[in-house]
């Protein structure tokens, strides 16, 4: 980012109202940096600065603004200015903006679009939230199978400027059904008189408009594509999804998983735009649930009160044991959630995974059990050392297995495995760890 270097000059030109110099200086500044500069000024001044940008640059800058700033600028722009900005936006960007706008601005924005653009936006808004249909664009280049390569190249030259990408071309029949996709270099290297049908193999990978957007991320990554076609139930080409949109989706999904992994309901806006009340509501529900679950831990301690009273040294090792179990389970769950997310592990692999994690758990348990057993020996004698050592082996083994299998269970019941979060795993491990610890303590100390 270079916006912080430009800000002093930017502020000075605004203060002097030297709009001509400001307009010239902004032409060579990347759109993302212009957006950051506009974010930092009052919207009434920001809309003046925004009007200085060329149409295409203005549209690009608009896509980098925060939702709050977009709303403020849209409210201040005239219908004609709105039309200029929105006509240069990709359809998926228009949809993303409309989804976040208040009602009166939604009507204003739709009213600034032409009939065809309105129809396209309304159609995309009809697809489920977070579906491929909301992310696709209709700006692509398609060619017919019976065309010559020369005709196809002329078509690319004529219409390619308005496409989001010309790296990939789409071959359709007379009914607009997708036949194949071609990379531009295949056209360039082919004989100009060859038919398009001669250089296609009729094999392609396509997405459905109703696929989840996370599936699009996986598919573009798996097939190493810069764009992928989107078809309807009849195989008709209705749009494409490009890598730049997918990168944004991947970032959103990763952020959502980070939030869920910390037992926080995912934020719908950026942190800066989220109010204190909203932050509270996103976090309090999970914390209250975990408080209730933690009451089980208190119940276990109360149940084994006599065992604890008979050997008070047992209390010294409660934090060590339950924290070790929670940490082990959280490690295992994190590894498994990511492995499932990237397709490295399938649901059908759960038995093999369980077997693998049992051995890992035993090895971890023995290493940690030996260390904690020695500590117990010095703090409470050989009986306490034996109890603590055996408990650590069993707790680590069980926690590791719970952490590995819980994501499978949640995925099977159509719950995002990211909710197998560290706090959730830790809480479950706390309860099971205490049960294991006091059961072993009762069995050994009562027989000694």
Domains of the chain from N-terminus onward: 3-126 (1.25.60.10), 142-250 (3.10.580.10), 276-445 (1.10.357.20)
pLDDT confidence of residue 60? 83
How large is the greatest C-alpha to C-alpha distance in the chain, in angstroms?
A: 93
Q: What angle is formed at CA 385 by the lines to CA 384 and CA 391, rounded to 5 degrees?
A: 85
Count of CB atoms situated within 10 Å of the CB of 224: 7
pLDDT digits (tens, 9 = 90+) for 370-404: 998 888 888 778 888 898 899 999 999 999 999 88
3-state helix, strand, coil in the chain (%, to 5): 70, 10, 25
Phi, psi angle pair for 108, to nearest 5° = -65, -45
Name the token pair of 92: 């998926």
Q: What angle is formed at CA 99 by the lines to CA 94 and CA 104, rounded to 5 degrees?
A: 95
pLDDT confidence of residue 100? 65
Which H, E and C letters describe 261-327, residue by residue? HCCCCCCCCCCCCCCHHHHHHHHHHHHHHHHHHHHHHHHHHHHCHHHHHHCHHHHHHHHHHHHHHHH
Contact 156, 166 (CB under 8 A): yes
Considering only CA atoms, which of 27, 429, 447, 39 is closest in space to residue 270? Answer: 39
Contact 123, 112 (CB under 8 A): no
Phi, psi angle pair for 178, to nearest 5° = -70, 130
pLDDT confidence of residue 421? 61
Place of tokens 């159509």: 414
Contact 100, 63 (CB under 8 A): no
Q: What is the value of pTM for the model shown?
A: 0.54
CA pair distance 284, 281, nearest whole angstrom: 5
CA pair distance 91, 51, nearest whole angstrom: 22
| Residues forming beta bridges with residue 172, ordered by sequence position | 144, 178
Q: How far apart are the first and last CA of the chain?
A: 69
Contact 30, 57 (CB under 8 A): no
CA pair distance 341, 95, nearest whole angstrom: 27
Name the token pair of 324: 């070790």
Count of CB atoms situated within 10 Å of the CB of 47: 19
Q: At what angle do helices 55-63 and 31-39 cross, to 10 degrees?
A: 70
CA pair distance 424, 331, nearest whole angstrom: 12
Beta strand 237-242 pairing with 227-231: antiparallel
CA pair distance 160, 165, nearest whole angstrom: 8
Contact 141, 160 (CB under 8 A): yes
pLDDT digits (tens, 9 = 90+) for 147-167: 999 999 999 998 888 888 888
CA pair distance 4, 6, nearest whole angstrom: 5
Residues of the chain with pLDDT under 50: 1, 448
């Amino acid at each position: 980012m270079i916006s912080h270097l430009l800000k002093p000059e930017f502020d000075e030109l605004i203060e002097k109202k030297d709009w001509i110099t400001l307009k010239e200086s902004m032409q060579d500044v990347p759109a993302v940096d212009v957006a950051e500069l506009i974010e930092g000024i009052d919207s009434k001044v920001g809309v003046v600065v925004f009007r200085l940008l060329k149409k295409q640059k203005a549209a690009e800058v608009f896509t980098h603004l925060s939702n709050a700033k977009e709303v403020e600028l849209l409210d201040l722009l005239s219908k004609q200015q709105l039309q200029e900005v929105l006509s240069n936006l990709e359809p998926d960007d228009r949809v993303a903006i409309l989804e976040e706008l208040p009602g009166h601005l939604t009507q204003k924005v739709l009213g600034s679009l032409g009939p065809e653009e309105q129809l396209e936006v309304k159609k995309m808004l009809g697809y489920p939230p977070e579906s491929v249909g909301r992310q696709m664009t209709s700006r692509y280049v398609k060619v017919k199978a019976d065309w010559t390569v020369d005709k196809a190249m002329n078509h690319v030259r004529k219409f390619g400027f308005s496409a989001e990408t010309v790296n990939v071309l789409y071959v359709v029949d007379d009914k607009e059904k997708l036949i194949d996709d071609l990379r531009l270099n295949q056209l360039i290297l082919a004989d100009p008189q060859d038919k398009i049908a001669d250089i296609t193999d009729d094999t392609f990978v396509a997405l459905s408009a109703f696929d989840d957007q996370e599936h699009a991320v996986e598919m573009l990554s798996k097939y190493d594509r810069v764009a992928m076609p989107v078809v309807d139930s009849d195989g008709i080409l209705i749009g494409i999804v490009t890598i730049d949109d997918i990168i944004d989706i991947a970032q959103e999904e990763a952020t959502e998983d980070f939030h869920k992994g910390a037992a926080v309901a995912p934020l719908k806006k950026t942190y800066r735009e989220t109010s204190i009340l909203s932050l509270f509501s996103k976090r309090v529900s999970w914390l209250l649930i975990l408080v209730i679950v933690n009451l089980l831990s208190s119940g276990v301690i109360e149940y084994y009160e006599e065992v604890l009273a008979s050997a008070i040294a047992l209390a010294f090792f409660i934090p060590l044991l339950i924290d070790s179990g929670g940490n082990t389970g959280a490690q295992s769950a994190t590894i498994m959630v990511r492995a499932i997310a990237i397709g490295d592990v399938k649901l059908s692999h759960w038995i093999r995974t369980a077997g693998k994690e049992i051995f890992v758990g035993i090895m971890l348990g023995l290493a940690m059990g030996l260390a904690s057993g020695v500590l117990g020996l010095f703090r409470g004698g050989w009986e306490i050392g034996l109890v603590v050592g055996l408990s650590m082996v069993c707790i680590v083994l069980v926690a590791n297995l719970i952490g590995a299998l819980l994501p499978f269970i949640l995925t099977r019941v159509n719950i995002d495995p990211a909710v197998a979060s560290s706090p959730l795993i830790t809480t479950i491990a706390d309860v099971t760890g205490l049960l294991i610890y006091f059961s072993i303590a009762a069995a050994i100390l009562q027989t000694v």
